[in-house]
Chain A
Amino acid sequence: MGLAAAAAAATEESALSQKENAAISAALAAATCSLLGTTIPASVDAQETADWDFNTSILYYGEDNDRVKDYSVKAIARRMFVDDRSLSLGMTVDVLTGATPNGAIRQDVPQTFTRPSGNGFYTVAAGELPLDDTFKDTRVALTANWQQPVGETSLVNVGGSVSKEYDYLHLGVNAKIARDFNQRNTTVSAGFAYSMDDLDPVGGAPAPLTPMLDVGDTSNRTGDKDKDVLDLVVGVTQVISRKLVAQVNYSYSYSDGYLTDPYKVLSLVDGTTGDTLLRSGAIPVEGGPSHQYLFESRPDDRSKHSLYTQGKYYMNGKVLDISYRYMTDDWEIDSHTLDLRYRWPLAGDHYIEPHVRYYTQTEAEFYLLSLDESQPLPEYASADYRLGDFDATTLGLKYGWKTRNDHDMSVRLEWYQQSGDVPGGQIIGNQAGRDNYPDLDAIIAQFSYRF
């Protein structure tokens, strides 16, 4: 073989090996694609056209003794785009029914109250906790958020929210930026949310500390109200080890405007017996309150500070999630919240997750069980149990699994219980023998499906 022939053969051989290489590459690509269950053009497509992910749930929240019940449907749809950009759209529909404490205290005789609309009345039996059973509402809430990376290490998220109830409209905007440092082991984030809410109470908002009037008398009603809320959050998330990540957030919240609950009253009581004063004068035939009740009054601003910390620790497949929050505000409410979840994997992508939450708060400085007739009226007063001194415990269990097509499903059942105390100094006369704080028991049941 001459040199030229040898060179030609070598070229042929190399061409053949190139062909072989190409064939092997193609076969490998095909095998990889068939392993992934897709074809080459489809995978190219998948990168260019966006995918939607859905997170959906149905929820039942029910309090005992015919108090508040909420049937809720929620969904978040997320569309991923190239370069880690994403759009999230959320929707919640709540259907609420049931009765809620109106703030008045129990009496040994029946009590009659004018409905918030001023168009009727309801009666509460002797010895029973006064509950307003007018409560019926449907709430629709929508959210939209856009998230995208900025540069190599930052992520920006901007969004808006709107929600509507019969007597309430909320409009809000929010933005958050997070930046990674230290090989993405440290993330510093900062965000704000601003909401502008309009309240249109049924029958009009009553003037603070004015009496509940007869059916049809709306002379103390003042119409619509509004409030604005500014929230600021700064936080640090830190990877501590291969199995431990922790977060610390500080948040500040400032509310300004009408912060009173237009449907809540306080009983005006005798300074010695502690019994609610009867109406002076005859109750009209068409109805009116049997006793003297004054509408509550709260300050028109509130600042809250909170410190939140969370840790997640991986232990051979199990995950421990602990968080603690301390909150303090200028209404003199301090609260502590401790939350513990333990995710325990079971065979075949199933898991079980017990949950314990403990919450405790002190009462607002203007929280009062009742108004003492022998004392001058305070500027602010509320008997709302949510501003009282109470502890709450949640016990829950969640069971989750992956479906055959790799979707996530879970069910959880939780029991929430509140138990409170009225400060001893506020108890007058006969009130000592009564159950003054409206304790609460509720069940939360939720089914979630992610696909």
Chain B
Amino acid sequence: MKHTILLIAVLCCAAGCSSMGVQPWDRDILAKAEMQLTTDELEAATDDHIYFSKEASSGGRGFGGGGCGCN
């Protein structure tokens, strides 16, 4: 059931995507540094690593923070 809802949500999104968006000349705001999904790569990597070593979850945004025998 959970998977069906997810699939429907993804399909609706995919169908709706073609009508969303802006023209190339309307990208002034989206092009700003503060509007990028990851504004500070180093800070994001720091947080991923801290939370990877203190919690049982990791990743999501990308590949998450591993590569340590954290205690």
Q: Which residues of chain B have C-beta atoms less than 8 A from A359's C-beta?
A: 51, 55, 57
Shortest CB distance B69–A (Å): 4
B23 within 8 Å of A by Cβ?
yes
How big is chain A's contact interface, by range? 35 or more
> Whose C-beta in chain B lies nearest to the C-beta of A132?
B71
Shortest CB distance A161–B (Å): 6
Shortest CB distance B51–A (Å): 7
Shortest CB distance B54–A (Å): 6
With A74-B46, A193-B63, A240-B20: A361-B57 Cβ-Cβ less than 8 Å:
yes
Q: Which one of B17, B29, B58, B67 lies within 8 Å of A163 (CB-CB)?
A: B67
Q: Report how far A134 CA is from B46 CA in the complex, Å.
A: 24
Q: Report how far A49 CA is from B63 CA in the complex, Å.
A: 32
Shortest CB distance A298–B (Å): 11
Q: Tell me what chain B mostly uses at the interface: helix, strand, loop, or mixed.
A: loop
With A229-B66, A243-B29, A312-B35: A323-B24 Cβ-Cβ less than 8 Å:
no
Shortest CB distance B66–A (Å): 7
> Whose C-beta in chain B lies nearest to the C-beta of A247?
B37
* CB pair A182 B68 closer than 8 Å: no
Q: Which one of B13, B22, B62, B68 lies within 8 Å of A185 (CB-CB)?
A: B22
Q: Which residues of chain A have C-beta atoms less than 8 A from B67's C-beta?
A: 141, 161, 163, 170, 172, 195, 197
Q: Report how far A424 CA is from B35 CA in the complex, Å.
A: 46
A352 within 8 Å of B by Cβ?
no
A306 within 8 Å of B by Cβ?
yes
Q: Which one of B35, B37, B61 lies within 8 Å of A314 (CB-CB)?
A: B35
A112 within 8 Å of B by Cβ?
no
* CB pair B63 A57 closer than 8 Å: no
Shortest CB distance A89–B (Å): 13
Q: Which residues from 15 to 37 on chain A have a C-beta closer than 8 Å to any C-beta of chain B?
A: none
A413 within 8 Å of B by Cβ?
no
* CB pair B46 A182 closer than 8 Å: no
* CB pair A310 B68 closer than 8 Å: no
* CB pair A446 B71 closer than 8 Å: no
* CB pair B22 A241 closer than 8 Å: yes
Shortest CB distance A327–B (Å): 4
Q: Report how far A334 CA is from B64 CA in the complex, Å.
A: 17
Q: Which residues from 42 to 64 on chain B have a C-beta closer than 8 Å to any C-beta of chain A?
A: 42-43, 45-46, 50-51, 54-64
* CB pair A335 B46 closer than 8 Å: no
* CB pair A199 B69 closer than 8 Å: yes
Q: Which one of A76, A90, A139, A191 lies within 8 Å of B63 (CB-CB)?
A: A191
B8 within 8 Å of A by Cβ?
no
Q: Report how far A321 CA is from B55 CA in the complex, Å.
A: 22
* CB pair A327 B37 closer than 8 Å: no
Q: Which residue among B24, B51, B55 has the maximum number of chain A CB atoms within 10 Å of its CB?
A: B55
Q: Which one of A59, A253, A440 lies within 8 Å of B46 (CB-CB)?
A: A59
Shortest CB distance B46–A (Å): 6
* CB pair B13 A248 closer than 8 Å: yes
With A174-B63, A195-B67: A242-B29 Cβ-Cβ less than 8 Å:
yes
Q: Report how far A327 CA is from B61 CA in the complex, Å.
A: 12
A158 within 8 Å of B by Cβ?
no
* CB pair A239 B71 closer than 8 Å: no
A421 within 8 Å of B by Cβ?
no
A290 within 8 Å of B by Cβ?
no
> Whose C-beta in chain A lies nearest to the C-beta of B67?
A170
Q: Report how far A261 CA is from B6 CA in the complex, Å.
A: 35
* CB pair A239 B60 closer than 8 Å: no
Q: Which one of A308, A335, A343, A444 lies within 8 Å of B61 (CB-CB)?
A: A308
* CB pair B13 A236 closer than 8 Å: yes
A231 within 8 Å of B by Cβ?
yes
* CB pair A100 B71 closer than 8 Å: yes
Q: Which one of A74, A182, A314, A392 lies within 8 Å of B18 (CB-CB)?
A: A182
Shortest CB distance A212–B (Å): 17
For this complex, 12 residue pairs linking A to B, each with C-beta atoms less than 8 Å apart, are: A191-B62, A231-B64, A239-B21, A239-B30, A242-B26, A242-B30, A245-B30, A248-B13, A321-B39, A327-B60, A412-B43, A446-B46
- Chain B positions near chain A (C-beta within 8 angstroms): 6, 10, 13-14, 17-18, 20-24, 26-30, 32, 34-35, 37, 39-43, 45-46, 50-51, 54-64, 66-69, 71
Q: What are the 8 closest A-B residue pairs judged by CB atoms, nearest first? A: A185-B21, A308-B60, A168-B69, A170-B67, A193-B63, A325-B60, A327-B57, A335-B57
